[in-house]
């Protein structure tokens, strides 16, 4: 694909989800490094475009598939069909659409490529979330554009009706680079997605480079908390921090998005809370810690990227799917635990074992995973 090609990038959906934003940030950074200059972010929030220093496109799909209708499946499917039909016989059918829909289709028609930066997981949990992510892909293909999906997750699938929509759209895309390893590929195979289109990759946030400016005390253990915290974990995390401190470690709580109150509840004003000013700060932080324990998928991804022992506490089956995919692919031990099984002593012992046994595997992960980094952009260059 020529460097003067026009590339529309969807992702970073404006919910201040650090993982989504970081994947988009890193993909844009790599695209720019490779000489692509005509990049446009299709996002509902200005901060996404500002983060990537790119022009923002209006309207976004959130402007068309409005969030206030997210629980109205009938309304969502109606809009989906309108957009689908409007793009099948373009420009004839475009006259039947609203002005915002027309603007969106005209914009996509002016692109060469639609690049879907892995943001959220494509699954059957929400028709709204599914169609906000996949409708642009279908429109782009109907308009004859190249469509590439990078760093996507594809679990869980538990709704046959939505599975058919997913398979229909994904089978029209050019290439799909999944982050869920064999688990994700098997899931796509089960719902009938053409396996020749599916490439095993990694989460795009994994290769976000650190600025290497941050300094942390020695033996820092990061404790990442989230709004999905369960009541028992407040005391568990506080007692874990006390145990770590007693044993000579430096426990630091951190959080992504708007979870400051959760961190305060766990630290009880006795332990430090680290606030991130920019995505690059998060990468630096996880490169510098001795080990990390966290509740979010991307706290684990960044711990692995930093080459440091990491443990994930999962609360939902959705999170378990994602973390299990990593464990199955790497053979990491003392790596994941159900929140119901947590207590301070058990987590402390897991950290000790992770520090002892994970480094050899972490070295292999960094060697092997970086070979799979930015495969979607490598594919784009060959088009």
- For the segment 2-23, the average pLDDT, to the nearest whole number, is 84
| pLDDT surpasses 80 at 44 | no
Mapped onto helix, strand or coil, the DSSP state of residue 8 is strand
| pLDDT surpasses 70 at 164 | yes
| Sign of the dihedral through C-alpha 11, 226, 330, 129 | negative
Residues 155 and 242 reside in one and the same domain: no
Cα separation, 67 vs 181, in Å, equals 31
Mapped onto helix, strand or coil, the DSSP state of residue 272 is strand
Q: The CATH number of the domain where 183 resides is what?
A: 3.40.50.11930
Domain count within the chain:
2
Give the residue with greater pLDDT, 364 vs 66. 364
Among the three residues 142, 166, 201, which one is the final residue of a domain in this structure? 201
First vs last C-alpha separation in the chain: 5
Contacts of 6 (CB under 8 A, 6+ apart): 38, 40, 110, 111, 112, 113
**24 assigned to some structural domain:** yes
pTM of the full predicted structure? 0.91
Residue 331: exposed, middle, or buried by beta-carbon count in 10 A (0-12, 13-18, 19+)? exposed
Q: Which domain holds residue 130?
A: 6-201
Per the CB < 8 A criterion, the answer to whether 230 and 315 are in contact is yes
Instruction: Name the nearest CA neighbour of 134 among 101, 166, 164, 171.
Output: 166
Residues 136 and 257 reside in one and the same domain: no
| pLDDT surpasses 70 at 118 | yes
Residues 123 and 26 reside in one and the same domain: yes
- For residue 372, name the pLDDT band (cuts at 50, 70, 90): confident
The H-or-E segment that residue 115 falls in is: strand 113-117
> Between the CA of residue 126 and those of 14, 35, 121, 161, what are the distances in Å?
17, 37, 11, 12
- pLDDT tens-digit readout, 275-330: 888 888 899 999 999 999 999 999 999 999 999 999 999 999 889 988 999 999 99
**355 assigned to some structural domain:** yes
Residue 74 CB neighbours (<10 A):
8
Residues 197 and 224 reside in one and the same domain: no
Residues 53 and 184 reside in one and the same domain: yes
244-268 exposure pattern, b = at least 16 Cβ within 10 A, e = fewer: beeeebbbbbbbbeebeebbebbbe
Cα separation, 365 vs 354, in Å, equals 15
| pLDDT surpasses 70 at 119 | no
**What's the mean pLDDT when you consider all of the chain?**
90
| pLDDT surpasses 80 at 100 | yes
Residues 144 and 29 reside in one and the same domain: yes
**107 assigned to some structural domain:** yes
Q: Could you give the count of Cα atoms lying within 13 Å of 79 in the half-sphere of its Cβ?
A: 24
**158 assigned to some structural domain:** yes
Among the three residues 150, 169, 201, which one is the final residue of a domain in this structure? 201
CA 256 distance to own-chain centroid: 13
Residues 192 and 50 reside in one and the same domain: yes
**249 assigned to some structural domain:** yes
**209 assigned to some structural domain:** no
Residues 227 and 358 reside in one and the same domain: yes
Supply φ then ψ for residue 113, to 5 degrees: -140, 140
- Residue 285's pLDDT is 94
**How many helices (H) and strands (E) would you count in the chain?**
16, 12
- For residue 128, name the pLDDT band (cuts at 50, 70, 90): confident
**383 assigned to some structural domain:** no
Q: The CATH number of the domain where 293 resides is what?
A: 3.40.50.2000
Q: DSSP of 318-370, one letter per residue?
A: HHHHHHHHHHHHH--SS-EEEGGG--HHHHHHHHHHHHHHSHHHHHHHHHHHG
Task: Provide the percentage of residues in the chain whose pLDDT is more than 90.
Answer: 56
Residues 59 and 96 reside in one and the same domain: yes
**252 assigned to some structural domain:** yes
The first and second tokens of residue 162, run together, are: 């939505």
Residues 229 and 145 reside in one and the same domain: no
Per the CB < 8 A criterion, the answer to whether 206 and 301 are in contact is yes
Residues 186 and 241 reside in one and the same domain: no
Per the CB < 8 A criterion, the answer to whether 176 and 194 are in contact is no
- Residue 7's pLDDT is 94
Residues 80 and 194 reside in one and the same domain: yes
Cα separation, 134 vs 84, in Å, equals 11
């Amino acid at each position: 694909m020529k460097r003067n090609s026009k590339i529309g990038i969807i992702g970073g959906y404006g919910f201040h989800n650090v993982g989504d934003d970081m994947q988009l940030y890193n993909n844009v950074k790599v695209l720019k490094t490779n000489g692509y200059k005509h990049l446009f972010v299709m996002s509902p929030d200005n901060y996404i475009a500002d983060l990537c220093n790119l022009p923002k496109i209006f309207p976004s799909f959130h402007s068309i598939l409005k969030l206030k209708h997210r629980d109205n499946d009938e309304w969502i499917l109606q809009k989906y069909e309108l957009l689908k039909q409007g793009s099948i016989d373009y420009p004839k059918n475009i006259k039947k659409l609203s002005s915002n829909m027309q603007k969106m289709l005209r914009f996509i028609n002016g692109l060469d490529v639609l690049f879907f930066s892995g943001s959220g997981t494509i699954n059957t949990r929400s028709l709204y979330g599914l169609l906000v992510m996949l409708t642009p892909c279908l429109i782009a293909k109907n308009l004859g554009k190249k469509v590439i999906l990078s760093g996507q997750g594809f679990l869980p699938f538990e709704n046959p009706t939505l599975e058919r929509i997913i398979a229909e759209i994904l089978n029209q895309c050019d290439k799909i680079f999944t982050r869920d390893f064999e688990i994700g590929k098997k899931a796509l195979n089960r719902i009938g997605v053409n396996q020749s289109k599916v490439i095993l990759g990694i989460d795009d946030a994994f290769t976000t480079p650190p600025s290497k400016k941050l300094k942390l005390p020695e033996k820092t253990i990061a404790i990442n908390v989230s709004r999905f915290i369960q009541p028992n974990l407040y005391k568990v995390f506080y007692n874990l921090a006390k145990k770590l401190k007693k044993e000579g470690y430096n426990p630091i709580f951190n959080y992504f998005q708007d979870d400051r109150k959760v961190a305060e509840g766990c630290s009880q004003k006795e332990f430090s809370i680290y606030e991130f000013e920019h995505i690059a700060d998060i990468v630096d932080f996880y490169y510098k810690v001795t080990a990390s324990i966290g509740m979010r998928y991307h706290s684990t991804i960044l711990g692995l990227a930093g080459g440091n022992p990491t443990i994930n506490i999962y609360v939902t089956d959705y999170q378990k799917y994602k973390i299990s995919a990593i464990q199955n692919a790497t053979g990491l031990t003392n790596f994941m635990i159900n929140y119901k099984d947590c207590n301070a002593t058990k987590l402390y012992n897991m950290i000790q074992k992770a520090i002892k046994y994970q480094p050899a595997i972490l070295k292999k992960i960094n060697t092997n995973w970086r070979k799979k980094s930015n495969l979607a952009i490598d594919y784009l260059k060959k088009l």
